[in-house]
């Protein structure tokens, strides 16, 4: 086991809630409000953790186990994604396709839990989440494929090394990958213009919908999982598609900067953009998919290395 890298990955488990916290805090500033501290998600988690478990009538095993399964999925995802090009190898490997599967599993479990209780808003949100996921997961797969073509493998450590330095930026395909992955980050983190994490309007919810019925420690696990999803896709974005150096230590410093930059970008987008009309989301994602497909063809044909 690579101890420093393993430690760096464990930081992700702890630091993940800081990312949505930072986005919220920046958003408030941009909107002229004082806003919460970036540490607010930790306070929320602590508060929720102390509360009792309240479950709706008719909640069965799927509903009860879902938060733990979702959190476990995201824990695995955090362990799979290498930090600054290195990974602790917790016996899970660092394969891109495994990551894809784990992310999909957590989404499926959330939807299954909504199905079990039959809450209208939960089902509505789950249905929307799955509708959006069909296209977003395809886009994520395509962008990972694009990176894999350059790295000749699906090991994320390898892909991180391939994306390091300035050389990849001479290829148009890499720029396309950046564009598409930006959209993946927006969708996977449930941010505007695709989803509105701040809304109290049940009718408009996507990701928040299935979470409505959860309370206490269950909700804490789900909220941590949502934060971990921020960590996973943003670290992945920084490692694969944003400019970063090759070394480990300098890579860690760069990663911190890149995460902060992504949080800022998300805060700016969320302040300046209204949420999209629901049925337009697949169109936008589809457009990005076409761009990536074109890039894959270019790369596969070897037009530019």
Q: Is 124 in the site for another protein (CB under 8 A)?
A: yes
Q: Decide whether 279 or 301 has the Cβ nearer to another protein.
A: 279
Per-residue x/- mask for another protein, residues 50 to 89, rule CB under 8 A?
Answer: ----------------------------------------
Minimum CB distance to another protein smaller for 168 or for 209: 209
Exposed e or buried b for every residue in 73-103, given b needs 16+ CB within 10 A? Answer: bbbbbbbbbbbbbbbbbbeeebebebbbebb
Nearest-approach distance from CB 276 to another protein, in angstroms: 7
Chosen residue from 9, 12, 27, 129 binding another protein by CB under 8 A:
27
- Whichever of 155 and 202 has its CB closer to another protein, that residue is 202
Interacting residue with another protein among 276, 284, 293, 298 (CB under 8 A) = 276
Contact 129, 206 (CB under 8 A): yes
Residue 210 binds to another protein (criterion: CB under 8 A): no
One residue of 7, 97, 134, 203 binding another protein per CB under 8 A: 203
If one asks whether residue 202 binds another protein (CB under 8 A), the answer comes out as yes
Kindly state the smallest distance separating residue 277's Cβ from another protein, in Å: 6
Q: What's the chain look like in SS3? A: CCHHHHHHHHHHHHHCCHHHHHHHHHHHHHCCCCCCCCCHHHHHHHHHHHCCCCCCCCCCHHHHHHHHHHHHHHHHHHHHCCECCECCCCCCCCEHHHHHHHHHHHHHHHHHHHHHHCCHHHHHHHHHHHHHHHHHHHHHHHHHHHHHHHHCCCEHHHHHHHHCCCHHHHCHHHHHHHHHHHHHHHHHCCCCCCCCCCCCCHHHCCCCHHHCCCCHHHHHHHHHHHHHHHHHHHHHHHHHCCCCCCCHHHHHHHHHHHHHHHHHHHHHHHHHCCCCCHHHHHHHHHHHHHHHHHHHHHHHHCCCC
Interface size with another protein, residues (CB under 8 A) = 28
Choose the stretch contacting another protein; rule: CB under 8 A; options: 11-19, 156-164, 190-198, 284-292. Answer: 190-198
Does residue number 3 form part of the binding site for another protein (CB under 8 A)? Answer: no
Toward another protein, which CB reaches closer, 64 or 275? 275
Interface residue with another protein among 192, 225, 227, 241 (CB under 8 A) is 192
Residue with smaller CB distance to another protein, 2 or 131:
131
Paired tokens of 16: 């993940």
Among the candidate windows 97-105, 110-118, 179-187, 197-205, which touches another protein by CB under 8 A? 197-205
Binders of another protein among 29-48, rule CB under 8 A? Answer: 30-33
The residue ranges that bind another protein (CB under 8 A) are: 27, 30-33, 120, 124, 128, 192-193, 196, 198-204, 270-279
């Amino acid at each position: 086991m690579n101890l420093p890298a393993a430690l760096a990955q464990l930081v992700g488990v702890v630091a993940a809630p800081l990312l949505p916290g930072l986005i919220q805090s920046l958003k408030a500033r941009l909107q002229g409000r004082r806003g919460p501290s970036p540490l607010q998600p930790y306070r929320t988690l602590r508060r929720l953790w102390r509360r009792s478990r309240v479950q709706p009538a008719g909640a069965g095993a799927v509903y009860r186990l879902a938060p733990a399964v979702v959190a476990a999925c995201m824990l695995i995802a955090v362990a799979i994604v290498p930090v600054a090009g290195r990974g602790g190898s917790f016996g899970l490997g660092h394969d891109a396709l495994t990551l894809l599967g784990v992310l999909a599993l957590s989404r499926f479990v959330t939807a299954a839990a909504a199905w079990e209780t039959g809450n209208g808003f939960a089902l509505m949100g789950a249905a929307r989440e799955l509708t959006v996921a069909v296209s977003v997961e395809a886009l994520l797969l395509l962008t990972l494929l694009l990176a894999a073509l350059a790295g000749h493998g699906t090991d994320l450590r390898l892909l991180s090394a391939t994306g390091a330095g300035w050389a990849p930026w001479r290829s148009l395909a890499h720029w396309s990958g950046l564009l598409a992955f930006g959209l993946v980050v927006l969708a996977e983190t449930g941010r505007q213009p695709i989803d509105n994490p701040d809304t109290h309007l049940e009718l408009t919810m996507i990701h928040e919908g299935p979470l409505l019925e959860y309370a206490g420690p269950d909700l804490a696990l789900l909220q941590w999982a949502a934060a971990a999803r921020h960590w996973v896709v943003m670290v992945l974005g920084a490692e694969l598609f944003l400019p970063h150096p090759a070394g480990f230590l300098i890579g860690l410093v760069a990663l911190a900067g890149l995460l902060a930059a992504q949080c800022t970008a998300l805060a700016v987008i969320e302040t300046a953009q209204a949420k999209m009309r629901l049925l337009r989301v697949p169109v936008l994602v589809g457009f990005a998919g076409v761009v990536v497909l074109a890039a894959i063809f270019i790369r596969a044909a070897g037009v530019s290395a």
